[in-house]
Structure 1
């Protein structure tokens, strides 16, 4: 395993590998690695000769400064986990000034409206920050394939849209959500949950899987109302939103149509810890 913290050195190394016709995979992370991240890395290792894992807590995608400050940072532990995986791994651990050249600001993007739905309504500027860092990483690594988890499904669709609109030559691959034994979607933020609250948060997955069954026979509106009612009776968790949307446009569903793919999205607060999850409905 090789570790780089400067983009120029990483680029020079990867250019040599590409001259030998090696394929490059990229797994962008913000660290605090868990089994969900590792599933992305394993997929990338199976499909590429070299895999770059970036570890960088990107300041421009946080609309809440406190959330940025509290985001778990476990670099030493992360590097140890990755070291044990494969010798074909390259780890990129830049600081903010290395990435942003002393100008820590977001580029402005047009994602054809995908950025205005769900998370976009509650996290001002978040997807501009996501687009900015991912575009920068793509330009540094120039990967053949890049891997993102479906837990952040809206983010995945936005990155695909950015690649399409900016004609970036990379294959964006979505990977299934990894879950804890109780169904809670794996997230670095779970590290901030107490053992009791982590168990309580299993209610999220139980509710959205039950809602999936309801959606088979009931309208989107009635299904969402049922979810809201379930959370209103749970004193430990606060529902920020529940929305059923078209997978491609992310527009909320009013009337179900045949041959369309729908997905249920939720954002929930456990104390001050914000958790998101989603499930395909067909």
Structure 2
């Protein structure tokens, strides 16, 4: 039996009070970052490869099914607004297509050939990196996608929550983080999903920093898509240039990004 399917450390959950349920879930959740700490070297190796490929014009792909697929889609979708990267530089694909983001598609994860078809629709090449996400480490959709990608010379990585996994065997840069039995037996949307989310955050954030999308600790290329972000950007420009709120907002709206607003004024000052 795999670790992700092993029996919960807790019994008679239905007899627990709400407080006890919450306390025990929280107790289990606290173990996740400690498990991830053990695989930081593996995460580092994958991030370095992602950065190298993206600096050369490559893209980052995620594939997964169910919770794992949704997490990949979420991470990919947040890169353009957060870091100003063009759409299509980080792509998340889920078994069953976009409809599966909201509603489970029966047996979509069991098709070993579909992932490669989905990847081909985006013209994946050996310039790109593919990361397969599967808590069990044996989802056919993900295993097949990674296997086909490797056959075409594409660099592969994975995020699994068992050891010695099938997706690990198909990955050049495997990440296998063992978080132990779930609070509800086999419910890998819990600790396993949390671990996958945290690792995806680590991968994409570190890559974006190394690709120059952060200055100091600020998201200087974020898209100004709502009033909250315009306010945040205005504050960044104010702090960087030492100017008034009104002047900073005008400069930001004129140039469309914190980076361009700051560079315009600093460039003018140099001239």
TM-score (normalised: structure 1): 0.28
Q: Which has the higher strand share?
A: 1
Q: Which has the higher helix share?
A: 2
Larger RCO, structures 1/2 (Cα 8 Å, 6+ apart): 2
